[in-house]
Amino acid sequence: MSRGDRGGKSVSGGLGTPGATGARGAPDGIPWADVLLASLASVSWALVAMAGTAALGLHLLGADAAGALGPMTAAVVVLGAGGSVTPSGDVSAFGLTGAQAKTAVEITPLGVSLAGALLLAFFFLRSLRAAGAVLPGAELAARAGGVVVLFVGVVAGLAWAGHDLVTIDGGSLGLDTGKSPGSGGVSIPGLGDLGDLGGLLPDRLGKLADAKAQVGFTVNTADSLAGAVFWVLGVLLVALLASRRSPLPRGWEWVHRVVRPAASALVAVILVAVVAGLAAAAYAMVGDGHPGRIAGAALLGAPNGVWLALPLGLFVPWNGHATGALVQVLPDPLDKLLGFKDDQSVSLGRLAELDGRVWLLAVATGVMMLYAGVLAAARTPVRGLSAGAFAGRCAVGLGVATAVALPLLVWLTGVSADASLSVLGFNAFGAGVELHGNAGLALVLGAGWGALAGCVGGLLAYGVGAAGRRAARLASPLPGPEPVGPSAEEVYGRAGPYTPSPVYRPSQDETNPYLRGDGPSPPLP
């Protein structure tokens, strides 16, 4: 009988018998009421975080000036959960017909995704800890399945609500004078001043001042539901692998010792990088003429930029190009490198040729990897290993974790956006961005960087005596068979007049007459 089973049955007031219906909620031992409540809490808080982040970000960007905020928020939440949105509309007033009108955007607002993932993982993992040290596999499957089904159902509702029409007013774009109000060019909400779009704003555009177009967007239900399934399963898997204190089914003890220390350290470093990106955005807001725009972009896309910079700092090569007005929204010096129609190789060396300060990115990512190595070593149990063997274990664990994480970051931060708008035969709004990393090389480099950081971090932690200091209880089980009686936590928690708490003071030989050995033993009573 495992400690988790005993703990669950003691709550109901009795020890119970095999197959009996007790606090576990059913003859099969699965507490279905707890499963439902935990699923509701996890999904509800995750969706609240995602919707709040999306709505606030869109509002700060000024997107609600062109359309209703509710449907746009629903569409962005679906995008953040791995969904897909198809734009469409009637722009014939601008001279667009048939295949001339094409708009496609493939980018995930990772700020929305991260907000939902953190709360979903927190409440899901918190619900597991009541099961004890060992969680039955059937109960884990039931809890995960409940979260998946409920989350996908909510995304289906958002897919139904995530459609609307956005009205584009020619006068609001400054087409009556060829200029946007007070800017000298076209201004798009959320992007700001785009200039004269390469000199493609002739005076006759003033004839379109009264023109209005309605551009719509619709959530692709089937693709969005499939994306939501993979998104929520991925979040739950990462949460289980990175949580050091959550129980797992019997037979998975190796995950506690080998996988979780490295995975939790790497996840912590990746989250710290996002916090650093948000701090940089807050610093950029000081003195800027449009602080709300910076804040909105940071809320929606700070993880996009940060997680793109991490592989780049570890020398993962990228390829891409940018054209039209979207070149102006890229950070310096990336805009100078990608401002061509043909694909350009984006690497740390090429960016450093344009701005030498880019090498600081390599230093920062190197320090973060070393921190991940030390943190993983502090969380890895030593169990009598020598310094070399311990460093090897840390190197293998962090190397495998980084080899999986780095291609995942490359895939998540890939950007594909293309838009064109023809006005009276002129390509007046031609813009596009393509940026994709080399996932295969990211896997190889991730394994190498992770192994190096794990080895160095393990040796440093072992040398200063920090190795294994932060190891979780589940990763360092006591030798020997599992105790039959209640755990110390259970005894302390039930201390009272009939079950007194144990003595906390350790035994001292010099004050114990039975152990001193300096005279005749006292008579037996």
242 and 347 share one domain: no
In 208-308 the beta strands, taken as DSSP E runs, fall at: 212-219
Low pLDDT (below 70) residues in the chain: 1-28, 66-67, 87-107, 161-218, 324-331, 339-341, 416-432, 476-525
Helix (H) or strand (E) holding 7: helix 3-10
Joined together, the tokens standing for residue 29 give 């031992």
Number of residues written out for the chain: 525
Q: 261 and 151, same structural domain?
A: no
418: exposed, middle or buried (Cβ count in 10 Å: 0-12, 13-18, 19+): middle
Q: How far is CA 463 from CA 29, 173, 372, 377, in A?
A: 47, 64, 17, 11
Same domain, 360 and 396: yes
- Of 204, 235, 251, the last residue of a domain is 251
CB contact set of 145 (below 8 Å; sequence gap of 6+): none
3-state secondary structure of 8: helix
DSSP 453-512: HHHHHHHHHHHHT-TTTT--GGGSPPSSSPPSS--HHHHHHT-SSSSPPPP-SPP-GGG-
pLDDT at residue 229, rounded to an integer: 93
Which residues 6+ apart lie within 8 Å of 163 measured at CB?
Answer: 71, 75, 216, 217, 218, 219
Integer Cα distance of 375 and 55 in angstroms: 36
Tokens of 309: 């910079």
Comparing CA positions, the residue from 27, 152, 158, 143 lying closest to residue 85 is 158
Domains in the chain: how many in total?
A: 2
> Is the residue at 178 inside a domain?
no
Q: For the whole model, what pTM was predicted?
A: 0.72
Indicate whether 118 and 226 sit together in one domain.
Answer: yes
Q: Which two tokens stand for residue 480?
A: 């020997």
In a domain, 523, yes or no: no
Burial of 99: CB neighbours in 10 Å, binned 0-12, 13-18, 19+? exposed
Do 43 and 155 lie in one domain? The reply is yes
One domain for residues 266 and 400: yes
Looking at the domain assignment, is residue 356 inside a domain? yes
Q: Which two tokens stand for residue 7?
A: 């703990």
Euclidean distance between CA atoms 181 and 209, whole angstroms: 13
- The per-residue pLDDT for 258 is 85
Residue 432: what pLDDT? 66
Q: Residue 151: which domain range?
A: 28-85+106-162+221-251
Nearest to 355 by CA among 341, 368, 329, 337: 337
- Domain assignment present for residue 195? The answer is no
Residue 268 lies in a domain: yes
